[in-house]
Structure 1
Amino acid sequence: MALNGDSPEQLTLLRETVRRSRTKEPAGITETLPVARVAVDVSLPHLDRPFDYLVPDDLADAAQPGARVKVRFAGKDLDGFVLDRLATSEHDGKLSRIRKVVSPEQVLTPEVADLCRAVADRYAGVFADVTRLAVPPRLAKVEAEALRCNQPVRPVSSTSLSEWAPYPRAEGFLDAVRREEAPRAIWTAVPGADWALAFAQAAAVCASTGRGALLLAPDARDLERLAAACAKVLGRDGFVTLSADLGPTARYRAFITALRGCTRVVIGTRAAAFAPVSNLGLVALWDDGDDSYAEPRAPYPHAREVLLLRAYRQQCAALLGGFARSAETAALLESGWAAELIAERTVIRAAAPSVHIAGESDRDLARDPAARAARLPHQAFEVAREGLRTGPVLVQVPRAGYLPSLVCQTCRTPSRCSTCGGSLRRTGSSGPASCSVCGRPATDHRCPECGDTRMRAAVVGARRTAEELGRAFPGVLVRTSGGDHMLDQIPDQPALIVTTPGAEPVPEKGYSAALLLDTWLLLARPDLRAPEEAVRRWFNAAAMVRSARDGGQVIMMGEPSATPLQAVVRWSPEGFATRELDERRAARLAPAAKLAELVGASEAVADMVARVRQLVDPAAGLEVLGPVDVDDETVRAVVRTPRAYGSALARVLKEALSARGTKKLAGPLRVQVDPATFG
C-alpha cells in the first residue's frame, strides 16, 4: 500500500538511499605494514595460534605490537593483542579487518609475549590463558594518568652490601651483575638472615647499572617485609609493588608504571612474574618451595619456572633464595645451571639455634620415659619455661584440614605404596587401604620402620594446643596466628605464640625458643612432597629463633631417627635436598622425571591416555599410572617420561588436546604438567 502517493518500490529505494548516506565508508587499508598478526583471546587448544588481519588506515598508528584490539572471530567480536605488523600474509584467503583498537598502550611487550609462548608450551597450555595471567584488565582512567618517572641511579658500595658478607661467593655473583652478565645462583641463607634486605641490596646493584630487577615474595606478609627493605635501600620512589591483592586500580597503575619504564625495580607476589620490567637484569625469588607460587588457573605455571624461563630467554641474572632448599634447586645445582651461595659451616653453626628432638638421648628418656610418645614431654615444658624468661616462645602446630592419609599405628611413619611410593588412603569403612596414585590395594603393607601392619588416620588439634598451654602456663599471654587471624609482628616480651606452619609472626629480636609439635603429622600429608614441605616449614620457623650462643633453643616432637628431623638438627638443608633429589630420581618423580596429571571423566581420561600413547615416541619411555577414582564422577591418571623427553611430552599433550578439541569430544578434562602437589 503506497503512502503519500509513493509506490512500495520508491519507498524501498528511499530507505536504501538514506541508509547509504548514514553509513560511513570504511577506511582504506594502510600501505605501511598492512597486515597485523593478532593473538585472539580464545582458549581452545586447536586454535592456539596467531591470525592475520588487515590494518585500516585510520588505525595504523595505534595498532602497534602489544596493543589491545577487537577483531571478528567465529562470528563474534573478541579481544586480542597485536603481536607483529607484516608487509604480507601467508594466508591465501580473504583477511578481515581489525575492528577497533581498544587502547594504543602497548601492554604486551615482545619479551613478555615470547615468555607467554614459552610458558604455554612448557605446560601444554594455551597462549591466551597465559596472557590473562600476564596482563591485568584494562582501566582507561589509569592509562590517562600522567605518571611520574623517577629513576635515580644510586652508586652501591661494598659496605652497603652487609647482608651478603657471610657468603664467600656472593661478591663474585654481585660483581657479575654489575658487569651486566647473567650469573645464576641458589642462595641458602644463614639462620636469622634478613633475606628481604639482601634482595633489596642485590636489586640496588642491578639498578645502579641502569637495568631492571624483579623480586618475588611468596605472600602478602613477606611482600610487606620486602617493600620495607626496598624503601630503606632504594627509597620510596625507587620501586613499585605489583600484586593481585592491591585491587584492580592499584595493580594496573603499578603495571603501567613498570611498562612505561618509570621504575627499575618491581617487587610482587606470583602475579608479578610476568611484569614488563624494562631492560631486565635480575630476577630473584624467595622460598621457591612455597605452594603460593603455584598458579591455580590454567595452565598452572609455577612462578619459579616462569622466572627461570625468563632468565634464560632474556639473558639476565637469576637468584633463588631460602632457608631451606627444594629438590628443584638441588637439581639446578647438580646440572651446573646455577652456582651455590652458602656460608661456611662455622658461620652457620654460630648463627643457628640449638635444635634437639624430644627423647633423642638416654638422659631425656631416663627423666621422662614417655618423652617420645608424649605430645608435650617434660623437656618441651622446660624449654618453654626457660625461654619465657627472656622473650616470646613459638609453638608450631600442624594445621587441620589435610586430605585423609594413613600412618603407622605404632611409630606413625607415613604409610606409602610399595609399588610407586604414593600415599596410602582408605576410601571406605571396609576393604584394604589403597594407593592414591596407582590405585593398588595395600593388602600386604608392613611399616618399613617397625614392621607393624596396623595403620591409623592422622589428626590435628591446633586450637586445643593453645588451650592446653594456657592452663599449663597460667598468667602467660597466649596468642594464636593462622587461618583468618594472622599476626605480622610481635614485640620482644614473654608470650606463647601458637601458630600453624607458615603463619609465624616476625619477632622483634627473635624467638627465645620454639616447640615444633606433631612433626609426624606434616610428614603424613598425602603428598609425595610432604617431607620436603615439612623440612621447609621447620627451617623457616627455626630460623626465627635466636642463636644458640644467645640461648635460642628448638625442640622437635617426633621420631629421633627420622631423616627430615635430623636434617634440621644438623642444620643441613642442602644435604636433605640432595638426598630428596636422589630418592625422586630412584622413584622416577619430578624433578628427575616429567609428570603430567590427567583429571576428568573416565571416558575423557581414557581417550587422552590412548592418544598420548599413540603420539609419543616409543624411545621416550612413557609410563602411565592409574587411573584411580577421585570421586564418583572423576578419575585421575598420571603420565611420565624421563626429564630429557619433557618438552616432547608437553608437545604431545598439546597435540592430543587439540585433536580432542577439533572433534569436539565431550567430557571434562584437566591436564596439569608438573603439578605442585602430587600424591
Structure 2
Amino acid sequence: MPVVARVVLDSPLPQLDRLFDYRVPAELEDDCVPGVRVKVPLRTGARMSDAWVVEVVAPDAADAVTTFAGELSPVEQVVSPVPVLAPEIWSLARAVADRAAGVASDVLRLAVPPRQVRAERAWLARDPEWSPPSVTAGPVAGYAEGVLEALVTDHGRAAVAALPHPVALHPDPAPAAPEPGPDPVWVPGWAATIAQAAAHAVAAEQSVVVAVPDFRDVTDLERALLAVLPVERVVRFDAKQTNGARAKALLQARSHAVVAIGNRTAMYAPATDLGLIVVWDDGDASFVEPRAPYVHTRDVALVRAAQSGAGLLFVSHARSTDVQRLVELHWLDEVAPYRQPTPKVIPTVQQGGAEGFAAQARIPSTAWRAAREASQHGPVLVQVASPGFGTGLVCAECGERAHCRVCGGPLGQPHRGATPQCRFCGALAVGFRCPTCGNGTVKPVGQGAQRTADELGRAFPGTRIVVADGSRPLDEVPARPSVVVATRGAEPNVPGGYACVLLLDGERMLAREGLRVQEDVLRFWTGAAAKGAPGSEVYLVGIGGRLATAMATWRLDVPAHDELVDRRALHFPPAVRVATLTGTDDAVTAAVEALGDTLVGDVLGPVPVEDDPVPGTVRAIVRFPYAHGAEVAATLKAEVIRRSSTRRVLPGGNRRRAAPTLRVRLDDAEPFAEV
C-alpha cells in the first residue's frame, strides 16, 4: 500500500473545504511531511492546485484512513521541505472556519504568508543547537502581589483592567556594563503589564501570543517587551511587514519560546508550548477581519485558548460588552490594579452653575485655565473628534452641504485656505459650484483638529502646538511645554504622561448611530485619559449622566454591565449570536427554511438591500443562542455548498456552474451599525 498524504487545498470554494487523499511517490516520501507546501492534481490532472499537507499516513495504516476506492492520484511536487503549517494552526483554522461557516483555506491565508525562499534557506541553515538567553521574570507591578503571576502559571482566564497611567520600565543592564544602568523606558501602563506577565510565561519556556489593534500599539508593546526580555525572545507580526519578514517571523516563532506580537494575524502565529494568549483592547474595530470568514480576533483567541489550554487575558481600560458577558458567566475572572492612582476626571457639566454661560463653550473656562497653567510646565493633550480644518463644508450662500462630484462624499479642508477635497475618495473639488444656488464659495462648519490647533495657537502665544491625526501620525512627543491636538486614537505618548488632558466633542462622538457607539467613545476617552501623568486632571467637556459618572469614578465595568442588560432585553449581540444571510430572495428563504428545527431563535427579514450592486438582493438576520452555534453554522455552510455546486442549463443545452446566490456571515455587526 502507498504512503497517503491528506492535504487541504488552497481554494476558496466551499465544496472543496475538506481533506483530500493523495499517494506520495517514493521519491517524495522524505520531503512530504505534515506542514509542507505541495502541488496536487485536480480530477483528471489537467489542473494543479496548491495545498498544505495536514497528515501523512504510513502504508500499514492507509486503509484505515483513505475512503477512496480507486487509485489515488500522486502528489505532483513538494514545493518546499520546510513545514510552515503547524499542526495546532491547522486545528485552529479548521475550528475557526467551522465556527464562522467559512472555508479553512481562507483562514490559512491569514496565518501562512506566501513562500519566501530566502527566509526558508536561512531557517534551514540555522544552528540547531542554538538557544536564546534564559529569562528571569520580575513581579507584575501595579496589581496585588502574585495575582497575575498565578494566572499565568496556572493558565487562568481573566478580564484585566489596565493601569491608567504611563509606566517606567528599567531594563536590566548588560553584565559587563558600568553603572548606572540604561535609562528608563516609558510605555503605556497596559503595555508594561502585558510585558511583565509575558516574561513569566517565557521564563517557564512557554510561548505567548499577543494581539493589539494597530501598528502604534505594536510599537508600544515591543518597546515594553524589549525592556524585560532579550530581543531574541520577541517576534513581531505586523501588517506593514514584507512577506519575507512575515515568513522569517513565522519560522522563528516555531523554534523556541517567544512572545509573538502583532495585529489580527498574530493570533495565528505558531508557538512552542503556548502558555498565554493576550488581547489588548478587544473592543477596537480593527480586530474585525475584513476578509472571509470575517472572524473577530476575540473569537480566535477564545477558540485557541480552548484548544491549547493556554491562559487567556483580555486587557483594557473600558471593558467591551462581549468580555462583560464572559465575566458575568464566570468564565473570566476580574483583575483590577491595586492601590493605583486613577485619572482625576472632571465632567465640566457638573460645574455649569459656577460657570454660567461659559460652561456652554467648546472649552469651558475652568478647563481653559487648567490647560493654560499645565502648558507652562508640561504637555497638554486635547482630544477632538475629527481631523482637518472643519468637520465639513457648506455653501457660503445657502448653507447646503458640499458634496464630491465624483463619489458624492462630503467635502472637507485639511487646513485653512486649502482646496476642498473629498473625505471619501480624495478628489479635489476645483471650481466647486453649489448645485442648489450656483454659488462657488464654501465655508467650514464644525471644528476639526487643525482649526482647533489654530485657535489654541492664538490663545496660547509662544506655546508649541502639535497636531496628530491619521495623516500626521506621531508615536511620541517630548515632555516639555506644548499643546498636542489629536484625533481619537492618534494621541502620541509622552514620557511620564501629559500634565493635563481635555476631552472635547464628546456630544458629537455620541451622536453617531450604532450599536457600539457608547463602548467606542468610552474607549477613546479612557485611552486618552490614561496617557496623563498620575494625578493630572482630565476635563470631560459637555457630557453628563452615567458615562460621566463612570469616568469620574473610573468604574468602567458599570456601563458595560448596563449596556449588556439592555442588549439582553433587545436580543442584540453579544447577548445572542447572529447570522446575516444575503442573496437572492429564494436563496435566503431556502437557507432560513433549511435551519428548520436547528433554529432556536428568530429571523428578521428578509428585506431588500438598497445599496447592493446586484438588483433584487435581500438580507435576513438570524438570531440564535450560543449553544446552537455549531448546528447553525454547519447547516448554513451546507446550504452555501449546495448553492455553489448547483449547475444551470444555458441556451443550447450547455451547463455551467451558477454564480453564488447566497452569502453567509456570522457575528456580523454591520446590520446593527445604525441601531
TM-score normalised by the chain length of structure 1: 0.80
Q: 2:386 aligns with which of 399, 402, 409?
A: 399
In structure 2, what is the equivalent of residue 358 of structure 1?
348
Q: Which runs of 5+ in 1 are unaligned?
A: 1-30, 405-426, 428-457
In structure 1, what is the equivalent of residue 396 of structure 2?
none
**Structure 2 counterpart SS, 1:246:** coil
**Match of 2:143, as an amino acid?**
Y
Please tell me whether residue 465 in structure 1 is matched to residue 452 in structure 2. yes
> How does 1:452-601 map onto structure 2 within 5 Å?
461-548=448-535, 552-561=536-545, 563-599=546-582
- The answer on whether the counterparts of 1:186 and 1:319 sit within 8 Å (CA) in structure 2 is yes
**Match of 1:161, as an amino acid?**
P
**Structure 1 counterpart SS, 2:569:** helix
Q: Aligned-pair distance for 1:474?
A: 2.2
For the residues of structure 2 that align with 1:371 and 1:626, how far apart are their CA atoms? 48
Q: Aligned-pair distance for 1:661?
A: 0.5
In structure 2, what is the equivalent of residue 93 of structure 1?
70
**Structure 2 counterpart SS, 1:360:** helix
In structure 2, what is the equivalent of residue 79 of structure 1?
50
Q: Which runs of 5+ in 2 are unaligned?
A: 167-188, 392-408, 410-444, 647-656
In structure 2, what is the equivalent of residue 175 of structure 1?
150
Q: 2:201 aligns with which of 199, 203, 206?
A: 206
For the residues of structure 2 that align with 1:78 and 1:674, how far apart are their CA atoms? 31
- The answer on whether the counterparts of 2:595 and 2:632 sit within 8 Å (CA) in structure 1 is no
> How does 1:64-143 map onto structure 2 within 5 Å?
64-74=33-43, 75-86=46-57, 87-88=62-63, 89-143=66-120
Per the alignment, do residues 384 and 313 of structure 1 end up closer, same or farther by CA in structure 2, a change over 3 Å counting?
same
For the residues of structure 1 that align with 2:663 and 2:387, how far apart are their CA atoms? 27
* Deviations, residues 574-599 of structure 1 (Å, cap 9, x unaligned): 11111121111112111111012344
Q: Aligned-pair distance for 1:299?
A: 0.6
For the residues of structure 2 that align with 1:54 and 1:632, how far apart are their CA atoms? 45
Per the alignment, do residues 274 and 460 of structure 1 end up closer, same or farther by CA in structure 2, a change over 3 Å counting?
farther
**Match of 2:149, as an amino acid?**
L
Q: 1:151 aligns with which of 132, 143, 147?
A: 132
For the residues of structure 1 that align with 2:605 and 2:143, how far apart are their CA atoms? 43
In structure 2, what is the equivalent of residue 255 of structure 1?
250
Q: Aligned-pair distance for 1:547?
A: 2.9
- The answer on whether the counterparts of 1:191 and 1:352 sit within 8 Å (CA) in structure 2 is yes
For the residues of structure 2 that align with 1:236 and 1:254, how far apart are their CA atoms? 13
* Deviations, residues 112-168 of structure 1 (Å, cap 9, x unaligned): 100000110111110110110111111112111134643333233xxx2142xx323
- The answer on whether the counterparts of 1:593 and 1:643 sit within 8 Å (CA) in structure 2 is yes
- The answer on whether the counterparts of 2:42 and 2:48 sit within 8 Å (CA) in structure 1 is yes
* Deviations, residues 328-359 of structure 1 (Å, cap 9, x unaligned): 11111111212111135xx35xx122212223
Q: Aligned-pair distance for 1:481?
A: 0.7
Q: Percent identity?
A: 39
**Match of 1:191, as an amino acid?**
P
For the residues of structure 1 that align with 2:161 and 2:630, how far apart are their CA atoms? 29
- The answer on whether the counterparts of 1:604 and 1:666 sit within 8 Å (CA) in structure 2 is no
In structure 1, what is the equivalent of residue 221 of structure 2?
226
For the residues of structure 1 that align with 2:327 and 2:354, how far apart are their CA atoms? 44
- The answer on whether the counterparts of 1:37 and 1:50 sit within 8 Å (CA) in structure 2 is yes
**Match of 1:79, as an amino acid?**
D
TM-score normalised by the chain length of structure 2: 0.80
Per the alignment, do residues 174 and 207 of structure 1 end up closer, same or farther by CA in structure 2, a change over 3 Å counting?
same
Please tell me whether residue 191 in structure 1 is matched to residue 179 in structure 2. no
- The answer on whether the counterparts of 1:150 and 1:237 sit within 8 Å (CA) in structure 2 is no
Please tell me whether residue 240 in structure 1 is matched to residue 235 in structure 2. yes
Q: Aligned-pair distance for 1:70?
A: 0.1
> How does 1:250-329 map onto structure 2 within 5 Å?
250-259=245-254, 261-329=255-323
For the residues of structure 2 that align with 1:555 and 1:208, how far apart are their CA atoms? 42
- The answer on whether the counterparts of 2:317 and 2:523 sit within 8 Å (CA) in structure 1 is yes
In structure 1, what is the equivalent of residue 668 of structure 2?
675
For the residues of structure 2 that align with 1:670 and 1:388, how far apart are their CA atoms? 54
Q: Aligned-pair distance for 1:668?
A: 6.4
* Deviations, residues 265-310 of structure 1 (Å, cap 9, x unaligned): 2222222111111111111121111122221111111222112211
For the residues of structure 1 that align with 2:386 and 2:454, how far apart are their CA atoms? 15
- The answer on whether the counterparts of 2:499 and 2:533 sit within 8 Å (CA) in structure 1 is yes
Per the alignment, do residues 642 and 494 of structure 1 end up closer, same or farther by CA in structure 2, a change over 3 Å counting?
same
**Match of 1:151, as an amino acid?**
P
* Deviations, residues 228-281 of structure 1 (Å, cap 9, x unaligned): 22212111222221223121111111111112x144322222221111111111
For the residues of structure 2 that align with 1:40 and 1:618, how far apart are their CA atoms? 30
For the residues of structure 1 that align with 2:498 and 2:604, how far apart are their CA atoms? 48
For the residues of structure 2 that align with 1:645 and 1:390, how far apart are their CA atoms? 58
Per the alignment, do residues 202 and 559 of structure 1 end up closer, same or farther by CA in structure 2, a change over 3 Å counting?
closer
**Match of 2:232, as an amino acid?**
D
**Match of 1:133, as an amino acid?**
L
For the residues of structure 1 that align with 2:560 and 2:206, how far apart are their CA atoms? 33
- The answer on whether the counterparts of 2:305 and 2:312 sit within 8 Å (CA) in structure 1 is yes
Q: Aligned-pair distance for 1:644?
A: 2.5
Per the alignment, do residues 630 and 273 of structure 1 end up closer, same or farther by CA in structure 2, a change over 3 Å counting?
farther
- The answer on whether the counterparts of 1:45 and 1:658 sit within 8 Å (CA) in structure 2 is yes
**Structure 2 counterpart SS, 1:202:** helix
**Structure 2 counterpart SS, 1:506:** coil
**Match of 1:651, as an amino acid?**
A
- The answer on whether the counterparts of 1:628 and 1:637 sit within 8 Å (CA) in structure 2 is no
Please tell me whether residue 161 in structure 1 is matched to residue 154 in structure 2. no
For the residues of structure 1 that align with 2:107 and 2:612, how far apart are their CA atoms? 31
Per the alignment, do residues 538 and 640 of structure 1 end up closer, same or farther by CA in structure 2, a change over 3 Å counting?
same
Per the alignment, do residues 566 and 605 of structure 1 end up closer, same or farther by CA in structure 2, a change over 3 Å counting?
farther
Tell me how many residue pairs correspond in the alignment.
Answer: 572
For the residues of structure 2 that align with 1:672 and 1:167, how far apart are their CA atoms? 40
For the residues of structure 2 that align with 1:618 and 1:234, how far apart are their CA atoms? 50
Q: Aligned-pair distance for 1:383?
A: 2.2
**Match of 1:212, as an amino acid?**
S
For the residues of structure 1 that align with 2:47 and 2:501, how far apart are their CA atoms? 60
